[in-house]
């Protein structure tokens, strides 16, 4: 009876329901749904089921007034938050990283980031080099592993390799992955259209036992890296020469040069930057043209000399 009275008192405290109460419940429902979506494919899914069972047992025992078990479970829940943080540390980290990769955050980063024309030019050059290199490596069945960093920074993996900070080219990538060279064993990591490091070690996948046994160590490393970040990982098989791409924990195989180029452009180059202006030396945009455009806007068309030019 005490439980029923407590529930009635609680319901009376939240009535009547206003517009902000509805919004509050809607936001809570969305957060719960997103939380379940994030953990249902990980080991946290099973733990959450166990917690749900314990919570249901606590409610039932409190309703029938089983005082001893209610007291024990109440104390368990008192320290449960700290236990959840310890148990779900990897999942919480990935969840926070995904929040940082949301569309709103990406839009703000774009507004405050580098010049779009410069970055578009860099990625156009890098994509051409990567696709040419993958085509050559595929034809000679030379294994390769290329990680393209996006929002999630890969400092931990970069520290395991050799810093290059070089402009990508077909020849450079071919030389890195040529058999028996010092840097061929490991992954190349690219950032902002540049080859930042080579011979980097990547994390293992979470559920390695569920991966196709026909896949080699490069493919497994690519899947593991894609599970821990939003990076795009390109793999060239040493056995078959097939080109594959790992992203968000899944591996897609059978890419050609053209399909790889199309995919990379859609992922790395903003849609509005369809035809970027070609930068001058040092990858700087054409300042003279930009200055003229500003003068024309300011002077309603500019002087006669400017128009003739």
Q: Convert the pLDDT of each residue in 250-276 to its tens digit.
A: 899 999 999 999 999 998 886 654 444
Q: What's the rounded mean pLDDT across residues 82-110?
A: 61
Give 52's contacts (C-beta < 8 A, 6+ positions apart): none
Which one of 100, 133, 153 terminates a domain? 100
Per-residue pLDDT tens digits for 29-75: 888 887 777 666 555 566 677 777 888 888 888 888 788 888 888 87
> Of residues 120 and 211, which shows the higher confidence score?
120
* Structural domain includes residue 106: no
pLDDT at 172 > cutoff 90: yes
* Structural domain includes residue 15: yes
pLDDT at 115 > cutoff 90: no
The pLDDT assigned to 3 comes to 62
pLDDT at 234 > cutoff 90: yes
**What domain range includes position 91?**
2-100
The pLDDT assigned to 197 comes to 94
Q: Which of 81-90, 126-135, 278-287 has the lowest mean pLDDT?
A: 278-287
Q: What's the rounded mean pLDDT across residues 232-250?
A: 92
Task: Count up the domains in the chain and report the number.
Answer: 2
* Structural domain includes residue 179: yes
Residues 125 and 48 in one domain: no
The pTM is what? 0.59
* Structural domain includes residue 298: no
Residues 167 and 76 in one domain: no
> Of residues 229 and 47, which shows the higher confidence score?
229
Residues 177 and 208 in one domain: yes
Cα 61 to Cα 43: distance, rounded to the nearest angstrom: 28
> Of residues 292 and 88, which shows the higher confidence score?
88
The pLDDT assigned to 280 comes to 42
Residues 56 and 156 in one domain: no
* Structural domain includes residue 140: yes
* Structural domain includes residue 208: yes
Which one of 100, 126, 159 terminates a domain? 100
Residues 47 and 168 in one domain: no
The neighbouring-strand residues paired with 232 are 148
Q: Which of 104-118, 197-211, 252-266 has the lowest mean pLDDT?
A: 104-118
Residues 64 and 134 in one domain: no
CB-based contact 276:124 (threshold 8 Å)? yes
Residues 77 and 144 in one domain: no
Residues 125 and 42 in one domain: no
The pLDDT assigned to 64 comes to 83
Residues 52 and 125 in one domain: no
- The enclosing domain of 250 has a CATH number of 3.40.1700.10
> Of residues 112 and 57, which shows the higher confidence score?
57
> Of residues 280 and 149, which shows the higher confidence score?
149
Highest mean pLDDT among 13-17, 114-118, 243-247, 294-298: 243-247
Which one of 100, 134, 164 terminates a domain? 100
pLDDT at 136 > cutoff 80: yes
Ordered alpha helix ranges (H), the chain: 2-14, 19-39, 44-63, 67-78, 80-87, 89-100, 103-112, 116-139, 155-158, 170-176, 217-228, 257-268, 287-298, 304-308
Calculate the CA dihedral of residues 147, 150, 153, 157 and round it to 10 degrees: 0
Residues 155 and 206 in one domain: yes
DSSP 301: S
Q: What's the rounded mean pLDDT across residues 159-166?
A: 92
Q: What's the rounded mean pLDDT across residues 146-174?
A: 91
Residues 49 and 187 in one domain: no
The pLDDT assigned to 2 comes to 66
* Structural domain includes residue 83: yes
Residues 241 and 193 in one domain: yes
* Structural domain includes residue 23: yes
């Amino acid at each position: 009876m005490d439980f029923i009275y407590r529930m009635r008192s609680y319901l009376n405290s939240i009535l009547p329901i206003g517009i902000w109460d509805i919004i509050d419940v809607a936001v809570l429902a969305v957060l719960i749904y997103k939380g379940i979506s994030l953990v249902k494919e990980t080991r946290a899914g099973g733990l959450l089921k166990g917690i749900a069972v314990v919570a249901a047992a606590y409610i039932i025992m409190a309703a029938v007034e089983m005082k001893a078990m209610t007291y024990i479970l109440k104390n368990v829940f008192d320290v449960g938050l700290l236990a959840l943080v310890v148990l779900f540390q990897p999942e919480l980290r990935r969840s926070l990283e995904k929040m940082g990769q949301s569309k709103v955050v990406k839009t703000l980063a774009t507004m405050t980031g580098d010049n779009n024309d410069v970055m578009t030019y860099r990625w156009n050059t890098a994509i051409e080099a990567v696709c040419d290199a993958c085509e050559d490596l595929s034809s000679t069945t030379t294994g390769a592993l290329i990680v393209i960093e996006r929002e999630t920074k890969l400092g931990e993996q970069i520290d395991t390799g050799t810093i290059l900070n070089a402009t990508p080219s077909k020849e450079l990538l071919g030389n890195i992955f040529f058999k028996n060279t010092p840097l061929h064993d490991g992954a190349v990591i690219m950032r902002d259209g540049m080859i930042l490091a080579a011979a980097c070690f990547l994390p293992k996948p979470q559920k390695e036992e569920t991966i196709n046994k026909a896949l080699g160590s490069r493919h497994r490393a690519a899947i593991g890296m894609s599970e821990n970040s939003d990076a795009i990982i390109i793999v060239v098989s040493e056995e078959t020469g097939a080109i594959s791409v790992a992203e968000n924990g899944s591996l897609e195989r059978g890419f050609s040069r053209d399909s790889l180029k199309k995919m990379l452009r859609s992922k790395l180059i903003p849609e509005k930057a369809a035809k970027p202006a070609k930068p001058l030396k040092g990858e700087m945009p054409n300042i003279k043209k930009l200055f003229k455009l500003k003068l024309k806007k300011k002077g309603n068309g500019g002087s006669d000399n400017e128009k003739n030019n």
